[in-house]
Chain A
Amino acid sequence: MMVRSTLKYLAPAAFAACLTLGAGVASAQEPIKIGAFLAVTGPAAFLGDPEQKTLEMYVDKINAAGGVLGRKLQLISYDSGGDAEKARTFAKRLIEQDKVDAIIGGSTTGETMAVVPLVEQAGIPFISLAGAVVVIEPVKKWVFKTPHTDRMACEKIFVDMQERKISKIALISGPGGFDKSMRAECLKVAPKYKIEILADETYGAGDTDMTAQLTKIKNTPGVQAVLNAGFGSGPAIVTKNYRQVGVPFPFYQSHGVASKEYIKLSGGAADGVRLPAAALLVADKLPDSDPQKKVVVDYKNAYAERWKSDVSTFGGHAYDGLWLLVDAMKKAGTTDKAKVRDALENTKGFMGTAGVVNMSPTDHMGLDLTAFRMLVIKNGDWELGN
């Protein structure tokens, strides 16, 4: 035990010494090592796969254009399979064996939180690609994140409801981690927007019919709109049942369904549904005056050209993470971990696929509600809703 803990403290010290000694000799040629651990396979592969592809693509592009600070980038990426335990092991390897300069990764909140203690102890800039608020709240010195949170999605929806003079709503949510977290966040911020939640219904894993819940909502006096916080096949079934039962109120979905798959699964029933989503989804439909348009259109086209598949907002999180890091390294003029961290924390006006990023010592995500766009589904396609 003694020996082990001594080693633990010695290793970073020795590492730091090597760096200082070697710096003068070889730094101009040595690549900047960027570590990544992503859920490329497994149940969260739909997150990790586009993230991995995005990182690969842009590391190649940056190197072709001469690299950063005159040095090439080297991507060292591991597949965590969405498993928190594996993520921890790989993060440890990235820090201790590969001696990377910064880490991007953690497709899911579970992986991210398992790694947080390691990066905090090692003192290495870490940009998470996970959604939940807990990643940055409370603020952790070395941890940043790029995706918007589910709380922001709730707030965006509630702002839209206020504009449309809706104040009494019903909530229906599913059994998944995303569904539960979103439901809790919505309940928490509802009073701030003077939204009253009159009914709070749920459905189970693998449920095939939600007409009972929706009938109950339809017959709850006072309800003016319905919000479905869900992910996967559940929201599509809710949408179909919503039209079947003939619920007359406006229907809101969350950013959890922001994919063409949802529209396809619910058939024509999705028409008229309102939801918050990243600008990436409607890249081509943004007005030319939109400052975000160039970033999202460029990324979308580059991704489609290289991988012959449609872009997803998840890949966009990796795009933002990589460019935030490159930006910070350029500003710091070095890859020194503490200086890069400070530069990250002082990021202002950075335009990413998720929106404008303005970090501060109290906000390690830096996005505001403009990051989300309110969309309406019309004729099986997205339209800007405001």
Chain B
Amino acid sequence: MSAELTQFLLTGITIGAIYALVALGFSIIYNASQVINFAQGEFVMIGGMTTVSLVDGGMPLPLAIALAVVVAAAVGLLLEKLAIERARGASVVTLIIITIGASIFLRGLAQLVWDKNFHALRPFTGSTPIAVFGATILPQSLWVLGVTVLIVAALGWFFGRTLLGKGMLATSHNRLAAELVGVRVKGMLLLAFGLSAALGAIAGILTAPITITSYDVGVMLGLKGFAAAILGGLGSGVGAVAGGLALGILESLGAGFVSSAYKDVIAFVIILAVLFFRPSGLFARRSAERV
């Protein structure tokens, strides 16, 4: 029984870490612009698919990963330059709608550039499950968890300690005031899109051996990542991770102890309940204080 519980928790952490990585991408763009970027899932897809096709083409894995992150970041920058910046004066809602359009466009493009089939990436360090208290976890899940922790630490440092990061937060808080004290507001948004696209790509690459990637893998991952970001509190790095892990563990426990047919229902009902009492998410207040 206890081994069973351990397995459900490990499963939850595996799924949760994936959601957390996607949720972090949402938070960065939200921090810089208050925009929820619904094309975030597509960055995840571009990262995974690019790596798979490069590796299939014979490129060594580390090089393929680096190149895929660069490709995704370039797509993120282009998206900001060509679509978001053009609509400068528009309201946040308009910008959000633009990102929805961009996500549909990117998905269509991916069908043409690649194909409609599923692709698997080789796990980085083997696929022999590691036994923990009678339960098992895959080495790839440890990669996901480890990199997530590193990224959260790096982002915490970036937003809390560097001028650039503080400038980004300032831009999100009050665009005009930030501009008045000398922050290059335009550059900040561009940077945010590039950064979160790169982050999305990293998520896509790390999870591709687990989730199996395809042109539309971003749809569900984007949705779950968004839910995780909302649960944790939009804009908070710690919140994104906590939200992701909570969502993953809820799903896994729901599937294990209640019914797999209702696991999503159970998870989302709990999220609704949380948001009812804390409308801005679990960690939102702390993030507001930080700004």
A residues with CB within 8 A of B: 43, 45-46, 201-209, 211-213, 215-216, 219, 232-233, 236-237, 240, 243-246, 261, 264-269
Contacts and interface: CB of A to CB of B under 8 A. Distances in A.
Contacts of A46: 116
Contacts of A207: 220
Contacts of A204: 263-264
A206 B118 contact: no
B116 A233 contact: no
B141 to A, nearest CB: 9
A237 B129 contact: no
Given A208-B18, A211-B7, A244-B138, A236 B220 contact: no
Given A202-B261, A203-B260, A233 B118 contact: yes
A212 B255 contact: yes
Contacts, number: 94
A205 B220 contact: yes
Nearest to B6: A215
B4 A215 contact: yes
Given A206-B221, A212-B8, A232 B136 contact: no
B228 to A, nearest CB: 13
B263 A215 contact: no
B120 interface: yes
B220 to A, nearest CB: 3
A209 B14 contact: yes
B256 A233 contact: no
In terms of DSSP, what is the predominant structure of the interface of chain A? helix
Contacts of A202: 260-261
Choose among A211, A243, A244, A261 the residue with the greatest number of B CB atoms under 10 Å from its CB.
A211
B115 to A, nearest CB: 10
A77 to B, nearest CB: 21
Nearest to A245: B136
A158 to B, nearest CB: 23
Nearest to A206: B220
A219 B127 contact: no
Nearest 9 CB-CB pairings of A with B? A206-B220, A208-B211, A212-B255, A212-B256, A211-B11, A233-B212, A233-B118, A215-B7, A212-B252
Contacts of A265: 118-120, 212
Nearest to A204: B264
B232 to A, nearest CB: 19
A267 B127 contact: yes
B108 to A, nearest CB: 12
Given A245-B136, A265-B120, A212 B217 contact: no
Interface in B178-200: none
Contacts of A233: 118, 211-212, 214
A209 B248 CA distance: 10
B116 A237 contact: no
B242 interface: no
B207 A208 contact: yes
A233 B214 CA distance: 9
B66 to A, nearest CB: 24
Contact of A244 (B12, B129, B211, B264): B129
